Amino acid sequence: MSEPEQGSATAAPLGVWLVRPEGEDLAACLHERLGGQVYRPWLQADVAQKAQFAAAYRQHAQWVMVAASGIAVRFLDGLPQDKHSDPAVVVLDEAGRFAVSLLAGHEGGANALAYRVAAVVGAVPVVTTATEALKSLVVGIGCRKGVPAERIEAAVRLALGDYAIGDVREVATVDLKANEPGLLDFCAQHNLPLRVFARETLAARPWVSQPSAWVKQNVGLDGVCEPCALVASPRGRLLVPKTSLDGVAVAVVQDQWMEI
């Protein structure tokens, strides 16, 4: 990762801002998977970081700031102008625990970027925009290799019953399916963020209503869809247990607070 040329007309869509060298490992993961330009402002010790960020702010459509949220807020002071033109900003703590959509969640794509960053480093995506907050359903999906998007959609609609895909906040799956084309296509078609869990994380919540010998042999878990949905929504309840159709297994969890 070479230091970007600030002011370049060919700047990458994504900028990754490191406040300290301690963020280098996270930056390496982000650069490998998401690309972008990495900024190391300590290399220009004679110029304050806030001033450096202000100069680079409009050069990228999206930003990941590896920093504390307080630092990000101070750096952004006075820079945002309009939600339709401001760059998206996601804040990632140096421990890689939380990817927070801070600015331009919808219009700039920060909400989607938060999920992408979270999937890369194993963080929890944090999205606070009202549209997402009011969606109560999380859908866990497990599928056979090569299943097309239309079969995944059919299985999801079957599991949702009277609910609509528009009621779904996010889709969750296991790391083995993170790059499954049909699943990615389904999520893209319905503008649904995909949350990916490591098998080790799912194994820590082993209960499933219908253990699968095939999943146990091929994935090392008793099931995928139910643990994924339950881990993604820890305060939720299992609304629809595992429902299978044509090589796709779906479970639906609903946030309990939405029932109050």
CA–CA separation, 33 and 116 (whole Å): 9
Q: What percent of the chain has pLDDT over 90?
A: 79
| H or E element in which residue 253 lies | strand 248-255
| pLDDT higher than 50, residue 242 | yes
> Over the stretch 27-57, which tens digit does the pLDDT of each residue have?
999 999 999 999 999 999 999 999 999 999 9
Q: Is the pLDDT of residue 139 over 50?
A: yes
Confidence band of 218 (pLDDT split at 50, 70, 90) = confident
Q: Which option is the CATH number for 134-259: 1.20.140.10, 3.30.420.180, 3.40.50.1820, 1.10.20.10?
A: 3.30.420.180
Q: What is the average pLDDT value for the chain, to the nearest integer? A: 91
* Band of pLDDT at residue 99, cut at 50, 70 and 90: very high
pLDDT at 31: 96
Which pLDDT score is estimated for 107? 82
**Residues carrying CATH 3.30.420.180, the chain:** 134-259
User: CATH 3.40.50.11220: which residues of the chain?
Assistant: 14-130
pLDDT per residue as tens digits for the range 65-86? 999 999 999 999 999 999 889 9
> Across residues 190-214, what is the average pLDDT?
89
**Which CATH number describes the domain made up of 14-130?**
3.40.50.11220
- Rounded to whole angstroms, the Cα distance separating 87 from 92 reads 16
Bridge partner list, 89 = 63, 103
Confidence of residue 214 (pLDDT cuts 50, 70, 90): confident
Distances (CA, A) of 142 to 38, 190, 238: 35, 18, 16
